[in-house]
Amino acid sequence: MTSTDIEDISKFLTDLWNNTGYISDGEIKTSIKSAQEHLKSLDKDNPQIQAKLILMPFIQAITASDALSFVSIKFFTFLYSKLPKTYWPSTKVTSKIVAIILDSPQYTSVERLTLYIELLTSILGAAYLIKIEHIDLIFRIMFYLVHQYDNMQDTKIAFNYKTSVLNAIKTILLKDTQITNKFEEPASKVYEILQKRTLVDSYLFPFITEFPENTTSLQVYLSVIITSVVYASKCESSTDKIRLITYDILFTILEESSLIIEHEFIRNVVQSLYFKFIKVMIRHFDFFMLSQISGMIDIIYLRFKKFSLSIINELFVKVLLPYHTSHKNTRIPQILSNLSEDRSILVDLFINDPNKSIFKLIIECMMKNVKKRDHPPRYGVVCICSILNHLIDYQPKVEEPSFSKNDLYSYFKYDPRKSIQHFVKKGYFKENDLDSLSSFLYTDKNLFKNSKSYILCQYGIKLTKKYLEQFNMKGKPLGECFVEFFGSIGLLIRVQNIEFFVITFSQHYFKENLPTKSYEGLYSLCWNCLLLNNTFRDPSYEQPMTFESFVHLNQKIDGGHNIPQDKLREIYDYLKAHEGIDVINHFSVMNNSDFYTLEKKHFDIVCSDSPSEDSFVVIDRMFYSIKDYMYETFYKELNMSRFESIQKSYRNILITIFKFSARICDKKYQNELLQCIISKSRLCKKPKDISNEDKLISRLLFDVSYICPQSIIGEWKTILTEAYEYSLLDNNFVLLNNLIESTANLNNDQLSEFIDGFSYIINKDIYDESKPVLLFTKLASIVESNIDRPMHFLMNMYPKVFNVVFECCHNKNYDNVIESIKTLSVIIDILLNKHKFNFYKYQNTFFDSYVQIYNKQNDEKVKVFIVDEVIRLVFKNMKRIRFGFDSIFVLFNRSLSDGIGIESLCDFAIKSYEITTFLPTLYPVYMKFIALFLDQSLPENKMIEIIDIYPEIISRIDQKQTEYLICVLKNIMNTIENERSSVEMKKHSQKAIIYLLKSKTVFVGNSRDYFFEEAIKRCFPVDITEKSTISEFYSSLIENNTEFYIYINSVVSTFCRLLSQDNLYVFGLLTSYLYLNKEHFDMITNDTISLIHSSIDTFSKYPESQKLSLLLSEIQQSK
């Protein structure tokens, strides 16, 4: 002991002595004085031995007079709280001090009691007695203190002392954890310290944060708190308010103490202590406690799911179900319901319980509860349905297959989408990293090309752009880059995929090199390159495309300009020499027998935690056991209940049963249940006989049909008939709309049955003009509801749906048919705006619907409307309709032949010329359509506009399609020779003919002779042919002289016919033409010589006649 310590003690004792007043016990007073003197001479080597001798008088003075007791207690309090442990009394002496205080009379004064509390709190806080042999003494101190605190008048002082006890408990637990089990035993008294909720907030959780390293101490500490809470709940004298406080404490520990989640003690503490608490809560059961139990189980499940299932399982087995069995407590199903409506606890129990024993117990418990009453309790039944709903949506875990490298390549070939994830796991590229994926697709040459293109299409434009960046296209020729890119991927037969690649390649190459004046020019050139490649590689082509044809194909595609021929030659030669690009081919994913071998090898699915077949048998038997009972129950409840929420609850029960029956593939049970509901439905009753009961049953039937349409087998006609009657009765078509919407979940056969049912309703009421057009529009809406289905599905469904419309059109009035056509147009408009439909050849099938309706109509107004509607669709979706024009022009041609909608079609023909700019293959169909206009009685200005289109169209026509050209030319010639044609029309026709003469490409094959002879003989009448026209005609002859020399007789005859005394200009042209064709004089016939001779006679007075006379002499000599 240092001198400073001795001085502090001496000063403290002196102060105490001076303030005690008169002390009657002289001996003790003398001893204390002596102790004060001896303190100054303490042996520094043995301070504790000396201290014992000094402290004895103080011990004796504890129970002495008030003054001496005050001095002694203050002394010891100072000693335990201020001095180092070295100078504390021995545990034996301390025990004696505690025993003196605890054995003191109960009538101790308040002042002395306050001193006792202060001293004992100091001893407890010093944790000097924390040894297992002193545990009883510690508890005596705690109980004494708790008892005395409650007797204190000053609540503030009591609160401070209670805080001191909590601190003491914490100190004890941090010192020694061997007293855990001993400490829980009397912890009920500690709870009385916690009755003030503020203590929990202020001290409980701050203490928890001080235990991060010592989980055992934390476990003990929480054990004391929780055990105390449980004890308070068990006490019969405890009020609901106390139980509410205990619940709050437990719930707060679980909800807010994130620090303790991962500690192992949770399993022990929660399992041993929370179960006790829940048992107590069940014992004092009321509605409030029900929600507390459910909430506590929920929070355990959410926060400690890793090991909570076993706890909750045991909770059901050891607490809830036994208590339910012994006490017949009807609220247990309500607890189960609360747990299963929003959580998957019961489903997890069902899946993870190997023997399904707990689940069987739960089901039996609920079903007994359901069956033992006249009306099943709502919560129990809803709970069953909640469990079923979870099971319906449950997806079992699948064991991941292991692949070798070769297996991965095979898997990529036949199922590229799924194989991508396995490449990621093998480390070939990073997940969701387009850069590494594009690099992988570019560098790995073992990947199947078609699968690569499939992946690029699936991931879309972003990945394809990244892939294109892998190629260095800057400054490279188009042909080389084209072969490099398209040679690295497979060209699938899906047109929208090819279109996608052409667009992305064109955009990238145009950005890198600007090879054409416009992007559209490069886009069209790339398409034509693909066609050229196919003629080289595809054996179905008899001969490859010639260079001349390739040049012709690319005429004026670059914003009205031609691609330079040297560039086209370079591309043509490169594609011809390099075989890197495959032909456009068909590719089907996952249809190869090799893949099934691979699948069998690697894809034996293991569902380690999935519901077993026996589990579903348990459910199946359970439902069969109550099936008949539930039928009657539903009927009674729906009939008796006047609350929409209850009605909805029972409808949901039936729907759930339907869903689960579909999961276990029990069609027989589904059908039985459906027949039961139908038998109780209104069905064939007249509207005036419909009761509220009928409405409820029918609504139930409609709900089942809407949510589980695939469960309806053979009953759609009945259900739709009833739904239609209800719709007309209430003038509310929500039910019918819902049923139509549900068709999106039907397969082909089921949808066919649905459509047949709808057709039955239409045919039944088709002659009733009072019926609205609703059925037509709703029938069309079936297609709209299924518009996201695969295209092959739509192809099967669409004709069947609208065949009903076709058959009924002639029986309905004008307004009805118009509404049907409008609905049809809306659907096709939606389809055309979907990417997957834009480039499909299925478009013809859909547009053919208009042709069918047109053919079945006798009303001219309807036909005109059909034509106008199709024209509107074409103009709105011009570039999206790539394969629908065949049907469209069938309709237009038929309409022209009937003389219906001619002016609208004429406007279409004039304004829709741009179709041929991006669809070259459409030229023949378009030309045939245009040719029909020349046979129509159109206004002159319209006819002239049509004629002016011909030259530009014909200049693009392919050499193999000249048969369509002949048809056009005949009509043009007829227009020139027609007496009813105006002079202006004839002049425009002549210009069209001359334009054709300048085009070399059209003059090939057998059509050449016919065209040239007829055009020259018939198209230049004397009365309308002007000097400018003759000049253009002559120019066309000169430009194509190498092709047309064989027609020299026809040309000379035409010039001779155009001569007159005032037309010296034509005479000069004739002379010039003959001079240029001297080498072909042997081909001139005698008739032509006579015409020339006659012309010379006519113009003999002019000097120019001498030149022609000399040429005539040469002609005669050559003969």
DSSP assignment of 449-476 equals HHHHHHHHHHH-HHHHHHHHHTS--TT-
The mean pLDDT value for 413-442 works out to 80
The mean pLDDT value for 182-193 works out to 47
What is the predicted pLDDT for the residue at 193?
A: 46
Instruction: Say which residues have a Cβ less than 8 Å from residue 687's Cβ, sequence separation at least 6.
Output: 725, 729
Query: Is the pLDDT confidence value at 613 over 70?
Result: no
What is the predicted pLDDT for the residue at 812?
A: 54
Q: Residues of the chain with pLDDT > 70: what percent? A: 35
Nearest to 229, CA basis, from 254, 250, 253: 250
User: d(Cα 954, Cα 971) in Å, to the nearest integer?
Assistant: 14
What is the predicted pLDDT for the residue at 207?
A: 44
Q: 173 and 220 in contact (C-beta within 8 Å)?
A: yes
For residue 783, with 0-12 CB atoms within 10 Å meaning exposed, 13-18 middle and 19 or more buried, which class applies? buried
Phi, psi of 395 (to 5 degrees): -115, 115
Best mean pLDDT range from 170-179, 240-249, 570-579, 1017-1026: 570-579
pLDDT tens profile 129-161: 545 455 556 656 665 665 555 555 555 555 555
Query: Is the pLDDT confidence value at 865 over 70?
Result: yes
Query: Is the pLDDT confidence value at 557 over 70?
Result: yes
What is the predicted pLDDT for the residue at 773?
A: 45
User: d(Cα 1005, Cα 559) in Å, to the nearest integer?
Assistant: 30
Higher-pLDDT residue of 833 and 170 is 833
What is the distance between the terminal CA atoms of the chain, rounded to a whole angstrom? Answer: 156
Instruction: Say which residues have a Cβ less than 8 Å from residue 7's Cβ, sequence separation at least 6.
Output: none
User: d(Cα 325, Cα 294) in Å, to the nearest integer?
Assistant: 19
Higher-pLDDT residue of 112 and 15 is 112
- Over its C-alpha atoms, the chain yields an Rg (Å, rounded) of 51
What is the predicted pLDDT for the residue at 474?
A: 86
Q: 377 and 370 in contact (C-beta within 8 Å)?
A: yes
Best mean pLDDT range from 259-263, 427-431, 815-819: 427-431
pLDDT tens profile 828-850: 776 676 655 554 555 666 677 77
User: d(Cα 529, Cα 516) in Å, to the nearest integer?
Assistant: 15
Mean pLDDT of the chain: 64
Query: Is the pLDDT confidence value at 707 over 60?
Result: no
What is the predicted pLDDT for the residue at 1000?
A: 52
The mean pLDDT value for 602-621 works out to 42
Instruction: Say which residues have a Cβ less than 8 Å from residue 698's Cβ, sequence separation at least 6.
Output: 681, 682, 722, 726
What is the predicted pLDDT for the residue at 15?
A: 58
Weakest mean pLDDT among 116-130, 166-180, 404-418, 435-449:
166-180
User: CA-based diameter of the chain, in Å?
Assistant: 180
Choose the CATH number for 461-588 among 1.10.1000.11, 1.10.3720.10, 1.20.120.140, 3.30.450.70: 1.10.1000.11
- DSSP annotation of 812 reads S
**Tokens found for residue 177:** 């954890």
Q: 850 and 866 in contact (C-beta within 8 Å)?
A: yes
The mean pLDDT value for 785-791 works out to 64
Residue 288 pLDDT grade (very low, low, confident, very high; cuts 50, 70, 90): very low
Nearest to 799, CA basis, from 788, 822, 783, 812: 783
Query: Is the pLDDT confidence value at 94 over 60?
Result: yes
Query: Is the pLDDT confidence value at 572 over 80?
Result: yes
Residue 186 pLDDT grade (very low, low, confident, very high; cuts 50, 70, 90): very low
Weakest mean pLDDT among 394-398, 529-533, 899-903:
394-398
Instruction: Say which residues have a Cβ less than 8 Å from residue 165's Cβ, sequence separation at least 6.
Output: 121, 124, 142, 145, 146, 190, 193
Nearest to 621, CA basis, from 393, 367, 347, 330: 367
The mean pLDDT value for 992-1007 works out to 61
The mean pLDDT value for 92-106 works out to 71
User: d(Cα 406, Cα 342) in Å, to the nearest integer?
Assistant: 46
Residue 1051 pLDDT grade (very low, low, confident, very high; cuts 50, 70, 90): confident
Query: Is the pLDDT confidence value at 956 over 70?
Result: no
What is the predicted pLDDT for the residue at 578?
A: 78
Best mean pLDDT range from 41-50, 927-936, 1030-1039: 1030-1039
CA distances from 1036 to 952, 995, 1043 (A): 16, 8, 11
Query: Is the pLDDT confidence value at 781 over 60?
Result: yes
What is the predicted pLDDT for the residue at 529?
A: 86
Query: Is the pLDDT confidence value at 983 over 50?
Result: yes
The mean pLDDT value for 365-393 works out to 55
Q: Residues of the chain with pLDDT > 90: what percent? A: 0
Instruction: Say which residues have a Cβ less than 8 Å from residue 434's Cβ, sequence separation at least 6.
Output: 459, 462, 463, 466
Higher-pLDDT residue of 554 and 705 is 554
Q: 851 and 894 in contact (C-beta within 8 Å)?
A: yes
Residue 502 pLDDT grade (very low, low, confident, very high; cuts 50, 70, 90): confident
Q: Hey, which residues does 558 pair with through a beta bridge?
A: 561
pLDDT tens profile 624-659: 555 555 555 555 554 555 445 555 555 566 666 666
For residue 300, with 0-12 CB atoms within 10 Å meaning exposed, 13-18 middle and 19 or more buried, which class applies? buried
Residue 575 pLDDT grade (very low, low, confident, very high; cuts 50, 70, 90): confident
The mean pLDDT value for 212-222 works out to 50
What is the predicted pLDDT for the residue at 601?
A: 33
The structure tokens 């069969």 sit at: 624
Residue 818 pLDDT grade (very low, low, confident, very high; cuts 50, 70, 90): confident
Residue 222 pLDDT grade (very low, low, confident, very high; cuts 50, 70, 90): low
pLDDT tens profile 333-374: 556 555 554 445 666 665 555 445 555 556 666 555 554 444
- DSSP annotation of 1019 reads S
What is the predicted pLDDT for the residue at 342?
A: 46
**Tokens found for residue 742:** 């549900």
User: d(Cα 76, Cα 13) in Å, to the nearest integer?
Assistant: 11
